[in-house]
Amino acid sequence: MNLDKNRNEDWMKLMLSEVKRQMEIVKLGGGKKSIEKQKERNKLTARQRIDYLNDADKPFIEIGAFAGHGMYEEEGGCASGGTVAGIGYISGRQCIIVANDQTVKAGAWFPITGKKNLRMQEIAMENRLPIIYLVDSAGVFLPMQDEIFPDKEHFGRIFRNNARMSAMGITQIAAVMGACVAGGAYLPIMSDETLMVEGNGSIFLAGSYLVKAAIGEDIDNETLGGADTHTSISGIADYKFKTEVECLDHVKKIMNKLASPANAGFNKIAPAKPLKDIESIYSIIPEGNLKPYDMLEIIELLVDNSEFDQFKKDYGKTILCGYARIDGWAVGIVANQRLVSKSKKGELQIGGVIYNDSADKAARFIMNCNQKKIPLVFLQDVTGFMVGSRSEHSGIIKDGAKMVNAVANSVVPKFTIVIGNSYGAGNYAMCGKAYDPRLIFAWPSAKIAVMGGDQAAKTLAQIQVATMKSKGKEVSAEEEKLLLDTIKDRYYQQTTPYYAAARLWVDGIIDPAQTRQVISEGINAANQNPHIESFSTGVFQV
């Protein structure tokens, strides 16, 4: 048993070590040369700006660190989607901070940049959090303008959200530390207050070169749209500062005077640590996630005093439901159980699979949490819903739909941690990205796909072989194996947490030991939105 635990721990820590290695590369943004150019211009990097702003004694939960990872390689890459962002604290007030990374293609907007910025605005709106924009961007990346400019979820949605957030009473502050051009010029002006740094900050719809080409006027960028121009002539900006530090200090002053937020009233008491050593969290999931394990062990490492009050403990055993506290916050936990168990009829149930009774139990528990206004935490390690005639005849689709209905219509904040597998409709039922979790993070062991790699690869290979044979082509056993291996390799690459994080299917990849903090900070943010709708599930079959 100890050998297995050691092997599991080695496997998890090796993956975590790789996450940290990749993260060090991500932190370099556009590279060391680009960072040096920032210094030469007396400019801080995006990460240095955030570090200076964020309270030293408070956490900063980064969102989308791996956005764009492995994408846009032909264009030179787009580290962190060209934007560093997350949930932090300024002058004691929890808020969203979004900083353009000028070292990445001059802060240009790629398609993933737009998606990430919209995600940050979504988090601000859901939780009524103030949002700080640290602007330093050359605007849309023109070679990909058709993928970022005109659609509903593209660049223009940012300014629509500026207007909507203002109407919602959400504080927006824009500190212009560098270029702010073309359509992007609207963002700071649609914020509540605009700050500019002399010499580096500029705002204009068209730069000096374009002005010369368009109307023949000769003018330099500073005179056209610098800090002095916009604070003394146009009146567009509200404050100007000689240095970035002075500018950031004034952001802190503004935040220090905001009124205290209202709250939703989620229950919290004095926090307590789990009774078990958090280090043991690395040794629970079996290497490759190929064997059963007890999800209850993980839950006991995440909750206060390791206390978990199970709901319907002896029914629907492939999903664990129950009440607990995380860092003092009352939560309802819905978690896939990976142990093999017996149903009430004595039938063996495979761990990680959602059966009729477990779906029914989870739906009822989710409704209870909505009734009590208790935030929900989903711990995903699911291979999907049970298939076969017995399940179909018992109405697995009906029971699954009932669970999906409860998740989709939940009005309490939902938080999802993808611990292991996240396959097929199981991803939906366990509150995947499409079901609006306030935050969704993955462990290094996570896999997200429509089905398991082996099954998917075999299915795809069989289809391709059948197609070739239907066209009269002979396919040897060796060719068939090569095809299968090629498909399998490609499919496995698409199931990694990096692939998911790059596309913002998850907000990031975290150290398992960080899970408590992420959930606690998420609930603290959610508690600042007092507006909770009444809960209704609509129509579903019973």
3-state SS, one letter per residue, for 241-258: ECCHHHHHHHHHHHHHCC
Provide the residue type at 401 as one letter.
A
- Residue 381 CA neighbour count, 13 Å, CB half: 30
Kind and range of the H or E element at 310? Answer: strand 309-310
Q: Name the CA radius of gyration of the chain, rounded.
A: 25
Distant-in-sequence, close-in-space partners of 105: CB < 8 Å, separation ≥ 6: 30, 75, 76, 78, 82, 138, 141
φ/ψ of residue 27, rounded to 5: -65, -15
- Encoded tokens for 482: 């090569």
Distant-in-sequence, close-in-space partners of 307: CB < 8 Å, separation ≥ 6: 324, 325
pLDDT at position 468, please?
76
Tens-level pLDDT at each residue, the chain (542 residues): 577 889 999 999 999 999 999 999 999 999 999 999 999 999 999 999 999 999 999 999 999 999 999 999 888 899 999 999 999 999 999 999 999 999 999 888 899 999 999 999 999 999 999 999 999 998 888 788 888 888 888 888 999 999 999 999 999 999 999 988 877 788 999 999 999 999 999 998 888 888 888 898 888 888 998 999 999 999 999 999 999 999 999 999 999 999 999 999 999 999 999 999 999 999 999 998 889 999 999 999 999 999 999 999 999 999 999 999 999 999 999 999 999 887 777 778 888 999 999 999 999 999 999 999 999 999 999 998 888 888 887 778 898 899 999 999 999 999 999 999 999 999 999 999 999 999 999 999 999 988 766 776 677 777 787 777 787 787 777 777 777 777 777 778 889 999 999 999 999 999 999 999 999 999 999 999 999 988 888 777 66
pLDDT at position 453, please?
64
Contact criterion met (CB below 8 Å) for 29 and 50: no
Three-state DSSP state, 309: strand
pLDDT at position 421, please?
94
Contact criterion met (CB below 8 Å) for 356 and 319: no
CA distances 414 to 62, 177, 255, 444, Å, are: 18, 35, 28, 21
Distant-in-sequence, close-in-space partners of 536: CB < 8 Å, separation ≥ 6: 409
- Residue 541 CA neighbour count, 13 Å, CB half: 8
**C-alpha to C-alpha distance for 315 and 320, rounded to whole angstroms:** 9
Kind and range of the H or E element at 87? Answer: strand 83-90
**C-alpha to C-alpha distance for 392 and 119, rounded to whole angstroms:** 38
Instruction: Calculate ∠ Cα 360-362-367, nearest 5°.
Output: 100
Buried b (16+ CB within 10 A) or exposed e, 301-327: bbbbebebeebbeeebbbbbbbbbbbb
pLDDT at position 456, please?
66
pLDDT at position 459, please?
72
Question: Which DSSP category does 340 fall into?
Answer: -
Contact criterion met (CB below 8 Å) for 366 and 403: yes
* Burial class for 182, CB neighbours closer than 10 Å (0-12, 13-18, 19+): middle
Provide the residue type at 502 as one letter.
A
Question: Which DSSP category does 286 fall into?
Answer: P
Among 371, 510, 520, which Cα is nearest to 445's?
Answer: 510
pLDDT at position 140, please?
84
